[in-house]
Structure 1
């Protein structure tokens, strides 16, 4: 099998293998894609300031999350409807993460049962991403099942009260369950491997929602529930409700402002994820890496200690190094592992994670950093100031 040199190679391979409908769902952002492009471009606003003549022969990217070891400040983040890209994709992603020594976050909108993901990685570090529907008994059931399956950390996503407008899905006629229009059938003929897998494995189902609702897997009903019946009444006071049902760490995902970061801190969250939902919600926002420094500064000024994570636009180990240098405890990987699983299945995910781990270690050695605590703001230079 041809060796890929970077995440972009996996992206191009995924594009070749998937139908347009499936690839656009993986790749696309909200509206004109401004936020999506900004997420990636914002990392280019920072350049490295390396130190030399430092012994980096024992460089290590290892870190800890709440005292638990991880091979690097990276987490395989939550992504939904992954069965659209490869059969049992959630289990493959979790297995690859465990093999690489990284946590895996399972989405509420997963196409594998959380119990099946735990069975696939009995020793893995698993976290749960939670959406809260109007009927909160569904979320309570999800939390109970995850506790019983040994999931350790809860990631409450708060930036999706409604789905953002995604033009590509409208153009492609993307609805759940999939409707085989003449255009989609023609696209399937051009992508026989994907089509055969979907035919043999069946269309992806939102199995976790189905089990917590207590019904059979009915994709149309549960997709509607996920997209149109989110609990719009959620407020900061509801973190207390989450705490009553979750004994482990609670992270709030979807923070982009200092004000909301401080609210998460005062309401007792263990951490936050600075995120614009991969550019898939609001069509025009700050990139998370742009918002990160001011949020880290504000939280460090006082109050309970919090872990700050980042997601959005991470495609290189160098991006991970920049995020950590700007104050992130770690980054969430979203599309990058999906490119791997969508192109080659399990070997593809393993290949993407190995690439990112290798690139991070190389970046650290070239910077003169022997461990992640050496990744400080002094290792970065804002490039616009050089042009000025």
Structure 2
């Protein structure tokens, strides 16, 4: 028989622990976000559809983005036991300088469209966290404005080659003069990808007030208040505005981009140069032999060629081909600190986050970007402790298995023959 008694009032009082109310709405909603997916949910609620879809979407059927995220989910970790890691070191040296974490902020275009603080929020958060910030050629804050927001931290610049080459050359010179230490020369955008969400939304730069956008704005007055009461949304480094994103890119980019352009940019740029948008082993080896400082395995977040290779899947083979002394970075699909740990274990020197940063920005401006970095840092540290490693240098391929859903037909046929 269970013995019962009259509840003791003193014991009940001990059980009643009321949380102090948080009256700051922004802090309350950001504190409630425990994952990047949580930040995405908040961002979707607070941002007009066209702006959110521009960030969230990808090219055509969005197959590349879906596969990239699935690839990180299809990871099996192999932890070591009885290997205490009470503290972990998440710092890394990358391209001649330090980073407190194994990721930096990737270049994103039209950033003030998502939330009015834009690149200033990203650069400021990166400075506070001790990680690099990358400004896009299509950014909405100037090179000098980013330098002012992050005067002592590491600033990188992402460069497109324009039809008017002198525009690109002048941007590189300005970034160098402002003390940016690394150039990300992007090579996967000779023409714009087919971003169908943008076309369906009638998305343009700057946004146009239509009946649809007005209806969509009614539950999001704060976004429109910011948009209408802050400086005009436009490219900080380019004079071209007006039209869909695809039209703007097609008008500006040049499909004749080649290794000759790389040679010119290398002569102009005095710092480190990495090639962003590499998608096969052969190009990785050639670029190493050309003497660049590193590469970014990337399919542009799935926003260019749909069904392009998955960067995370390419990583082990590329690392074996280029050797241990060549810088290899990865982006596309990263939504969790465990994704970053897996990438480092399989040979990445560094990773870049784009959408994860923008979800935080849309959820809460600068404070939201800080929250993004905090979430990823916590996930990285927890994953390392659970694996039994105290530093990034201790991570190795044996810690990770890439589980495969997509097997090339020839390989699948060979497996059948062997059985």
Aligned to 2:253: 230
Deviation at 1:384, TM superposition (A): 4.8
Is the counterpart of residue 241 in structure 1 residue 274 in structure 2?
no
Aligned length: 376
Specify whether residues 356 and 55 from structure 1 end up closer, same or farther in structure 2 by C-alpha distance, changes over 3 A only: same
How far apart, CA to CA, are the structure 2 residues paired with 1:221 and 1:338?
A: 22
> Radius of gyration: which is bigger?
2
Render the CA deviation track for 1:150-186: whole Å, top value 9, x for unaligned. 0000000000011100111111011223222211111
How far apart, CA to CA, are the structure 2 residues paired with 1:55 and 1:70?
A: 24
Render the CA deviation track for 1:297-333: whole Å, top value 9, x for unaligned. 11119xxx42000001111110000000111001100
Please, which of 199, 202, 223 is the counterpart of residue 170 of structure 1? 199
Aligned to 1:22: 51
How far apart, CA to CA, are the structure 1 residues paired with 2:34 and 2:282?
A: 41
How far apart, CA to CA, are the structure 1 residues paired with 2:386 and 2:101?
A: 17
Deviation at 1:204, TM superposition (A): 1.5
- Cα contact 2:389–2:395 (8 A) shared by 1: yes
Task: Give the secondary-structure state (helix, strand or coil) at the position aligned to 1:232.
Answer: coil
Aligned to 1:323: 343
How is 1:1-388 mapped onto 2 (pairs within 5 angstroms)? 1-2=27-28, 3=31, 4-210=33-239, 219-220=241-242, 226-300=249-323, 305-384=325-404
How far apart, CA to CA, are the structure 1 residues paired with 2:256 and 2:195?
A: 24
What residue ranges of structure 1 are gaps of 5+ in the alignment? 211-217
How far apart, CA to CA, are the structure 1 residues paired with 2:39 and 2:186?
A: 28
How far apart, CA to CA, are the structure 1 residues paired with 2:292 and 2:254?
A: 20
Specify whether residues 17 and 156 from structure 1 end up closer, same or farther in structure 2 by C-alpha distance, changes over 3 A only: same
- Cα contact 1:236–1:264 (8 A) shared by 2: no
User: What TM-score results when the alignment is normalised by the length of structure 2?
Assistant: 0.87
Deviation at 1:225, TM superposition (A): 5.3
What residue ranges of structure 2 are gaps of 5+ in the alignment? 1-26, 406-414
Specify whether residues 312 and 13 from structure 1 end up closer, same or farther in structure 2 by C-alpha distance, changes over 3 A only: same
RMSD: 1.7
My pick for the range that moved more, 277-286 or 107-116, is: 277-286
Specify whether residues 101 and 380 from structure 1 end up closer, same or farther in structure 2 by C-alpha distance, changes over 3 A only: same
After superposing on structure 2, the runs of 4+ consecutive aligned residues of structure 1 that deviate more than 4 Å are 221-225
Render the CA deviation track for 1:72-101: whole Å, top value 9, x for unaligned. 110111000001011131011011011011
Deviation at 1:222, TM superposition (A): 11
